[in-house]
Amino acid sequence: MMSIKKFQVTFDCAEPERLARFWCEVLGYVVPPPPDGFAGWDEYQEAQPPEERGAWFACVDPTGVGPRLYFQRVPEGKVVKNRVHLDVRVGTGLVGEERLAVLEAECARLVPLGAVHVQTLYDGNDSCIPMLDIEGNEFCID
């Protein structure tokens, strides 16, 4: 049996480039180079039929370790809780007040980018901060 070596995470959304750039800031990802033959993404978009312009965008981990994130425009809006969400792992290995302080600092960094702080979960040892991205998709600072 062959094992899967790489995967991407796909987001249905209203504004692919805007959401991709938000996640670049959250994760330290970058926008990949445009397809071959195009000097930049604006040139690529202009070459597309009008109905396909801005239909998708992507971002990648500059180290090549994390999955590619792909954002595709869909006509319908988000109406229910995500069945899958990202956990942004900034507190791995930490516990108690030290962990909570690291998670709260990351939350404070993301709110000015447009993220919404939903709540802080803390039991004196473990903590997690559920948040919403700029299109209302749930994710956690973990």
Question: Would 129 be classed as within a structural domain?
Answer: yes
Asked if residues 124 and 12 have their Cβ atoms less than 8 Å apart, the reply is no
Asked if residues 104 and 79 have their Cβ atoms less than 8 Å apart, the reply is no
**23 CB burial (10 A radius; 0-12, 13-18, 19+):** buried
Question: Would 1 be classed as within a structural domain?
Answer: no
**How many domains does the structure of the chain reveal?**
2
Backbone angles phi, psi at 79, to 5 degrees: -125, -20
Predicted confidence (pLDDT) at residue 120 exceeds the cutoff of 80: yes
Whole-angstrom Cα distance, residue 12 to residue 6?
Answer: 20
Question: Would 106 be classed as within a structural domain?
Answer: yes
Interval 48-94: pLDDT, tens: 999 999 999 999 999 999 999 999 999 998 888 888 899 999 999 99
Domain that holds residue 65: 8-73
What is the average pLDDT across 4-22?
92
pLDDT for position 136: 95
- Residue 131 and residue 102 share a domain: yes
pLDDT for position 32: 96
- Read off the pLDDT band of 33 (50, 70, 90): very high
- Residue 92 and residue 67 share a domain: no
Question: Would 137 be classed as within a structural domain?
Answer: yes
Strand 127-132 and strand 116-117: pairing?
Answer: antiparallel
What is the average pLDDT across 121-132?
95
Mean pLDDT across the chain? 94
pTM of model > 0.85: yes
